Structure 1
C-alpha cells in the first residue's frame, strides 16, 4: 500500500556516478535523475556532486572522447596513491558537510553506495556486496575504502535500495539488516537497445570488421568474477571451422587481476577465433549487441546483470550463469548454466551457433522478458521508497 508523502518532499540526489565512462551504476543514476526531475510528487530537487556542489540542472550525460579517456587514466593513477586518495576524501567530506547544512529538510539519496553526513533522511543504493564477498576481484585499496564507506552508509541510512532480490537478502544476512528496510528497485535499459536489421548497423559492424549474426558477444569488465576464462575454455573446444566462422568478441575495460585472461584472449586473436575490443563508446554498443548471434555471460557474481537485459532487449539470445541475481534478470528467457560447468555451456553454445529455430525462440522470449523492466518503473518504486524513509 502506498505511503502518503509528507507535505513537502525535497530531494538531494547524488551524481558522483554520472561521469565517463558511464557504467551500469552511472546509467542507473542518470536515468533515475532524469525521471525524478519530472515527477509530480517531488516538490524540490537538487543534484549533489561529490565536490559538494548543489545544482538544480540535471547533469549532462557524459561525452566520449580522448579528453574523457585521459581523465579516467589520471583518476586510476591517482587512486593508487594512498596518501593522495585519503587527503582527497578528507577535503571532499569537509566541502560536502558545508554544502549540506542548508538542506536539513531534504532527503538525500546516494545512488552509488556512499552517503555524506546529513541531518535529514538518507537513502542509499547498494548494487552488490562484491567488496565483501569477492574482494579478490578488486584492488586492495578499493576494498578497504568501499568496505569502510559501506559500513558508514549503513549507519546513516534509513533505507537501502538494491537492484535485485538476491542482493536484498545478501545485505540482510551479511549486516543483520531488517528486510523491510531494504527494497528492490530493478534496473532497466534505455530505448537505444532494440532489434536492428543488418542494413541499419552495417557501418558500425564494418568499423570493427564484424559480420551480422556471425559472432558471440561478451560485454563487461575483465575480472575474475566475470568468469571469462570459462568462455575461453569452451571456445578452445569448439570445432575450428565453427569458431573461425563465429568468433568470440569481448568488450570491456581491463579489470583487476586480468593479465592471464588478457593473454588467453591474445592467443585466441592470433588463432583467429577471438577479438578483444577493450572499452567501446556507449553510442556504439546497441549496434554491437544487435549484430551478435548470441550473448554470453557466465559471471559468478552479479548484483543485477545489466548486459543480460541489454542483450535481450536487442533481440539477442542469452546464455548466462545461474549464479547470484542473473536468474532474476534472465527469467525463463535465458539459457542458464552453472558457472563451472564447461560441458553444459559447450552443448548450449553449439545449439545457439547452429540451430536457427532455437535462436528465434530465444529471441522472442528475451524480448518479452526485457519488456517487464523499465526506468519508469524503477523511478516509481524509488519514489515509494522515499516515502518510507520519512517514516
Structure 2
C-alpha cells in the first residue's frame, strides 16, 4: 500500500504535541509491512526539508499550516494532483482537518487524526475577536469536510470520541480510538542548576490556553500556601500569559519558557508532583511524560485525563476550589510514591504499542 502523510505539522512545529504525533505517525507508517510512505507539505524555496517532501512549486513559510490562504492553496490546488501523480492509495492528515478539497478519486482512501475539537468548543487565543470568529467558522467547515471524506477518524481518547459523536453523530462508524505515542526522553537529564529552582516544587506543563485552567489553579495554590505551611513552590512550563496580572511574580512561582527536552526531562524528574488542572483535554501528554520518569500526578476530572491517569492517582473537580485546596494540603505531606508502577503504566503509550494500534487500523483499510 502506498501511503501519503501530511507532514506540515512535523516540519513547521517539530516540538509541539501535534508535531511529535506527526513524527510518531511517520515511524508507524514506515514500519507497516508491505507499505511505502510519501510525505507532503510546504516549505520555503530554499529549505532543506523540500528534499524529503512532495511540495508545491511556490514558496511558503514552513510554519504556515494554520494560515488560511496557504492551507487552501495546498489542500485545494496542490494536493489532489500531487496524490494522483504519486499514485497514493491512502492519505493521512493529522492536524484535526486538512484532507484534500474537492471530490475524492475512486480507489483513494483518507484517514483523519483528530486530536480534539477545542477549535470549535473552546475560546482559544487569537489576535482579535474578528480573527477568532473567522477561524472558528473556517475551522468548522474544514473539520466537517475532513470528517465527511475520511474513511477512518483516529482519536486519542474515548473522551474525544464522545465529543465527536456529540457534535457529529453521523461519524460514528469511522471512529477508532488510538491513544498517542509518548516516548521517554532520550539520554540523561540536563543539569538545571542554572534555572535556580527550589529543592521542592510542584509542576504544571502547558499553560497557555484558557481551558488549561491555570489562573484558577494558581489562585488555589496561593490560598493553600497561606493555609498550610508545607505547600511546595510551583513551576509553570510554558509561560504565564494565562494568569491574571496580579498573579505574575507571586512569591514561590517560577515560570519557564522555551526549554529543551534535556532540561524538561530534568524538570519533570525533580518535581515532587505534576498537576494537570485542565477542564478539557483531548489526551494529556504531560501526564504520561511525568509518569514515564516516575513523577506522580494529580489531575482534573471530566475529560481524557480520567482515562490516561492511573486509577489510584489523586483527582479533583476543575471548578471546586475548596476541594482542591484541601487536596493540596493532604498531598503536601504525603509519603513518597513508588515510581515503578507509574513507569509501568506509562509504558502502554510507548512506541511498540502505538505501532500495533496504527497497523491494526491500517489492516481494516486494505
2:140 match: 147
Q: Is the 8 A contact 2:153 2:174 kept in 1?
A: yes
Bigger mean CA deviation after superposition, 300-309 or 371-380: 371-380
Q: Distance in 2 between matches of 1:14 and 1:202?
A: 33
Q: Deviations over 1:60-110 (max 9, x none)?
A: xxxxxxxxxx987xx69xx7xxxxx44323432312233122244420011
Q: Distance in 1 between matches of 2:87 and 2:244?
A: 49
Give the gaps of 5 or more residues in structure 1: 1-8, 60-69, 80-84, 195-199
1:109 maps to 2:95: no
Q: SS at 2:111's partner residue? A: strand
The number of equivalent residue pairs is 344
1:131-280 counterparts in 2 under 5 A?
A: 131-134=119-122, 136-139=123-126, 140=132, 141-192=134-185, 201=189, 203-204=191-192, 206-212=193-199, 214-240=200-226, 246-252=232-238, 258=242, 261=243, 263-268=245-250, 272-280=251-259
Q: Distance in 2 between matches of 1:49 and 1:166?
A: 30
RMSD after superposition: 3.0
Q: SS at 2:348's partner residue? A: coil
Q: Distance in 1 between matches of 2:341 and 2:312?
A: 5
1:295 maps to 2:271: no
- Of 290, 293, 298, which aligns to 1:319? 298
1:376 match: 352
Q: Distance in 2 between matches of 1:279 and 1:262?
A: 21
* Displacement of 1:367: 2.2
* Displacement of 1:171: 1.0
Q: Distance in 2 between matches of 1:278 and 1:242?
A: 29
Give the gaps of 5 or more residues in structure 2: 55-60, 127-131
Q: Distance in 1 between matches of 2:15 and 2:8?
A: 11
In structure 2, the CA distance between the partners of 1:378 and 1:55, relative to structure 1 (3 Å rule), is farther
Q: Distance in 2 between matches of 1:156 and 1:51?
A: 26
Q: Distance in 2 between matches of 1:45 and 1:236?
A: 51
Q: Distance in 2 between matches of 1:263 and 1:244?
A: 25
Q: Distance in 2 between matches of 1:144 and 1:254?
A: 28
- Using structure 1 for the length normalisation, give the TM-score: 0.79
1:108-127 counterparts in 2 under 5 A?
A: 108-113=91-96, 114-117=98-101, 118-119=104-105, 120-127=108-115
* Displacement of 1:184: 0.7
In structure 2, the CA distance between the partners of 1:370 and 1:333, relative to structure 1 (3 Å rule), is farther
In structure 2, the CA distance between the partners of 1:217 and 1:280, relative to structure 1 (3 Å rule), is same
Q: SS at 1:122's partner residue? A: strand
Higher share in helix: 1
Q: Is the 8 A contact 1:293 1:353 kept in 2?
A: no
